[in-house]
Amino acid sequence: MTPLELAQALAQILAANFAARGGDAAEIVVTEQDTQLERPKSREHGDWASNVAMKFAKRIGTNPRELAQELAAEIEKIDGVAKVDIAGPGFMNITLDAASAGETARRVVEQGAAYGRNDSLAGQRINLEFVSANPTGPLHMGHTRWAALGDSTARVLRAAGAEVTNEYYINDAGAQMNKFGRSVLAAVLNEDAPEDAYPGEYIQVLGAKVREQLPNIAELAASDRDAALEQVQELAYQLQLAEIKDSLERFNVHFDVFFSERTLHAKGANGEPSPIELAVDRLRDQGHVFEEDDAIWVRTTAFGDDKDRVFTRGNGIYTYFAADAAYYLDKMDRGFTEKIYLLGADHHGYIGRLTAIAGAAGDDVEKSITVLIGQLVNLNGARLSKRAGNIIELDDLLEWLGADALRYWLARYPADSPLALDGEKVRSRTNDNPVFYVQYAHARTCAVDRNAAAAGITREVFAPELLTHETETDLLGKLQQYPGIVAGAAELREPHRIARFLEELAAVYHRWYDNCRVIPLGEEPVEDVHRTRLWLNDAAGQVLRNGLDLLGVSAPERL
């Protein structure tokens, strides 16, 4: 029995106790979140501890110790629970029987990659937008944190049963694209770069590729520079976007949708209004649009924004806010129950703006939108890209550090904490490097498997009651925690909880490895305890593998 399952059973017992006292079920709703269990500091106090009696006694109308005694009597009826001791004013210490605890190893092995997955977010359709860098240059270090966190968040949400669409919003309309086009055209024609040109050798590389694919572009520019600029800008944009997609795939980050901003401005085939034109009418129907100073406004202050927002200025030009609103409405139309935006540290102002758009569109701002702001990442030892000039390219980081190390380190910290990394430590192969420490634990489980096979030890016998060593109890307890860790990480949108759990699991596994042998020494016979320990070894490897997969990190069999 996992602690999550025990918490669910405890929630049911508590609710039944309240009902038996004549309470109205509507007055007290108990979930497994209310009854979460903790690992006691001293193993002498059992396998799991709960203070639920102290939390709910007043609401139920009794004293904590009396409630604890009543709950304990029901908990002891649960199959696999050996006893429940009550301590102090109402703490409950729950001890599982050895066989029940040991069954975790078999469950993990039999469920394989499915172990830890749950349906806590089943039925939710989530749109997760992240990275969304302008297609005017290569991805750089500022994008890497959101790429790692965004993809890991999506994996954790899917593990909790949600249907998730990873989406990249391509900012392919507006002044930055025109600036990009002028920069590349100058490179194509071997002209001096415009004063506001994008820096970096990559512009020259793009220019050479465009010149190769459009051999007559110089002649066109001489007769119709605007037409040449249009062709160059479009081809350079497609080439740069292809490079961005390639970098992301090399970083093991996959997007389901690349959404072009230009589609929001495009009219229908028969001249129907564009999505951005329709957006203002849809918001007007909700009663939140007004006109003032020759402009069209949305009253976003009604939903907590710091000021009302201009949708269309008097010259008919749509603002960035208008595109944001049209894009949000498009996500609504696609049926997403929650829209998650992962934005950089310089986008704090977007929290109120996007939340207000959701409210103005008629969505529930408490449930339908989540805006996460990440802090900057600083990596000591990284060098500016020679190709891109003034940035540190993702491709260079991948070549220097590798995708596994970079992804793990970026995912192991909360998004809202500033992050300073030591490049040499990130790439080191020592136990001080957490990604190496975790991957080494997994490789060690594989080595045990290989050595066991060579010694003729198989999993033909499983006797969980034999797993009684202190380190075996600790390892089983840690494996039991994994489903709850996944559910919590998904609920809070915090994949770093997976990384920290894996480090704890690796430490517990290494201690077990040092104390309990799968392969007997010398001429000692192979016994059922050795065969059963092989199950436990393989269960640890499986959970390490499952957790690393949620972070987009590989689980090597050898290091």
162/296 same-domain check: yes
Residue 279 is predicted with a pLDDT of 96
Task: Assign residue 496 the CATH number of its domain.
Answer: 1.10.730.10
Residues 287 and 162 in one domain: yes
Same domain, 165 and 299: yes
Q: How many Å is the Cα radius of gyration of the chain? A: 29
Confidence of residue 56 (pLDDT cuts 50, 70, 90): confident
Q: What's the average model confidence in pLDDT over 362-375?
A: 93
**In the prediction, which pLDDT does 396 show?**
93
Does residue 388 have a pLDDT over 80? no
Name the residue with higher pLDDT: 18 or 528: 528
- Give a yes or no: residue 393 inside a domain: no
CA pair distance 48, 41, nearest whole angstrom:
10
pLDDT of res. 162? 98
Averaged confidence pLDDT in the chain: 93
Indicate if the pLDDT at residue 222 is higher than 80.
yes
Q: Is the dihedral of CA 134, 140, 142, 148 positive or negative?
A: positive
515 and 534 co-located in one domain: yes
pLDDT band at 386 (very low <50, low <70, confident <90, very high): low
For range 288-313, the mean pLDDT: 93
Whether the predicted pLDDT of 55 surpasses 70: yes
Q: What angle do CA 325, 365, 28 make, to 5 degrees?
A: 165
Rounded mean pLDDT of 302-318? 90
Q: Which amino acid is at 436?
A: F
The confidence band for 28, taking pLDDT boundaries of 50, 70 and 90, is low
The H or E element spanning position 183 is: helix 175-188
Alpha-carbon torsion, ordered 337, 170, 376, 346, to 10 deg: -80
Q: Do 37 and 62 fall within a single domain?
A: yes
Tracing tokens 């703006």 back to the chain, one arrives at: 353
Do the Cβ atoms of 181 and 233 come closer than 8 Å? yes
Q: Identify the DSSP state of 81.
A: E
What pLDDT is recorded for position 24? 66
Q: Which of 94, 69, 66, 64 is nearest to 82 (CA)?
A: 94
| Residue 465 is assigned to a structural domain of this protein | yes
Task: Look at residue 363 and tell me whether its pLDDT is greater than 90.
Answer: yes
Nearest to 205 by CA among 395, 455, 45: 395
Residue 391 has pLDDT above 90, yes or no: no
The most confident of 2-6, 16-20, 143-147, 227-231, by mean pLDDT = 227-231
CA 49 – CA 44 distance, rounded (Å): 11
> Do residues 244 and 133 make contact, with C-beta atoms less than 8 angstroms apart?
yes
Give dist(CA 15, CA 30) in Å, integer: 6
Q: For residues 494 and 275, what is the distance between their CA atoms, to the nearest angstrom? A: 34
Q: Which token pair is 16?
A: 């039944």
Query: What is the value of pTM for the model shown?
Result: 0.89
Q: What is the mean pLDDT of residues 1-12?
A: 84
Task: Give yes or no: residues 200 and 146 share one domain.
Answer: no
**pLDDT score for 178:** 96
403-433 per-position pLDDT tens digit: 999 999 999 999 988 889 999 999 999 999 9
Q: Are 92 and 35 in contact (CB under 8 A)?
A: no
Q: Are residues 16 and 91 in the same domain?
A: yes
H or E element at residue 125: strand 125-129
What pLDDT digit, counting tens, does each position of 96-115 carry?
887 788 999 999 999 999 99
Side chain identity, residue 137: G
Is-contact 92 50, C-beta < 8 A? yes
Alpha carbons 460 and 107: distance in angstroms, whole number? 15
Helix or strand (DSSP H, E) at 82 = strand 81-87
For residue 46, pLDDT beyond 90: no
Domain boundary among 194, 228, 250: 250
Q: What is the span of the domain harbouring residue 461?
A: 101-116+430-550
Split at pLDDT 50, 70, 90, the class of 240 is very high
Q: Is the pLDDT of residue 219 over 90?
A: yes
Percent of the chain with pLDDT over 70: 97
Asked if residue 421 is part of any domain, the answer here is: no
Within-domain flag for 411:
no
Assign residue 26 the CATH number of its domain. 3.30.1360.70
For residues 260 and 166, state if they share a domain: yes
pLDDT of residue 25: 58
Of 191, 218, 250, which closes a domain?
250
Whether residue 425 is contained in a domain is answered as no
Given a contact cutoff of 8 angstroms between Cβ atoms, the answer to whether 79 and 119 are in contact is no
DSSP letter at 268 equals: P
Count: domains in the chain: 4
The closest of 322, 242, 232 to 282, measured between CA atoms, is 322
Q: Could you give the 3-state DSSP secondary structure of residue 392?
A: coil
Domain check: are 287 and 262 in the same one?
yes
Question: What are the pLDDT digits (tens) for 162-214?
Answer: 999 999 999 999 899 999 999 999 999 999 999 999 988 999 999 999 999 99
pLDDT at 375: 84
CA 527/CA 461 separation, integer angstroms? 9
Q: Same domain for 144 and 220?
A: no
Same domain, 157 and 306: yes
Which CA distances in Å does 111 have to 101, 278, 489? 16, 49, 20
What residues are paired with 471 via a beta bridge? none
What gap in Å lies between CA 320 and CA 316, rounded to an integer? 13
CB-CB contact of 64 with 106 (8 Å):
no
Whether residue 107 lies inside any domain: the answer is yes
Question: SS3 breakdown of the chain: % helix, strand, coil, rounded to 5?
Answer: 55, 10, 35
Q: Above 90 in pLDDT, residue 462?
A: yes
Task: Please write the tens of the pLDDT for every residue from 122-149.
Answer: 999 999 999 999 999 999 988 999 999 9
Q: Using CA atoms of 406, 410, 413, 414 in order, give the dihedral in degrees to the nearest 10.
A: -170
Whether the Cβ atoms of residue 70 and residue 20 lie closer than 8 Å to each other: no
C-alpha–C-alpha distance, residues 157 and 256, integer Å: 15
Q: Is the pLDDT of residue 315 over 90?
A: no
Question: Which range has the worst mean pLDDT, 320-329, 356-365, 378-387, 514-523?
Answer: 378-387
Instruction: Please check whether residues 259 and 244 belong to one and the same domain.
Output: no
For residue 136, being part of any structural domain is answered with: yes
Listed residues 348, 373, 398: the one ending a domain = 373
Instruction: Give the pLDDT band of residue 377 (cuts 50, 70, 90).
Output: confident
First-to-final CA distance of the chain: 33
Tell me, yes or no, whether 381 lies in a domain. Answer: no
**Contacts for 278-283 with beta carbons within 8 Å, 24 or more apart?**
278/326, 279/311, 279/322, 279/325, 279/326, 279/329, 280/311, 280/312, 280/322, 280/325, 282/329, 282/361, 283/311, 283/325, 283/360, 283/361
CB 108 within 8 A of CB 476: no
Mean pLDDT of 463-491: 94
Q: What is the DSSP letter of 479?
A: H
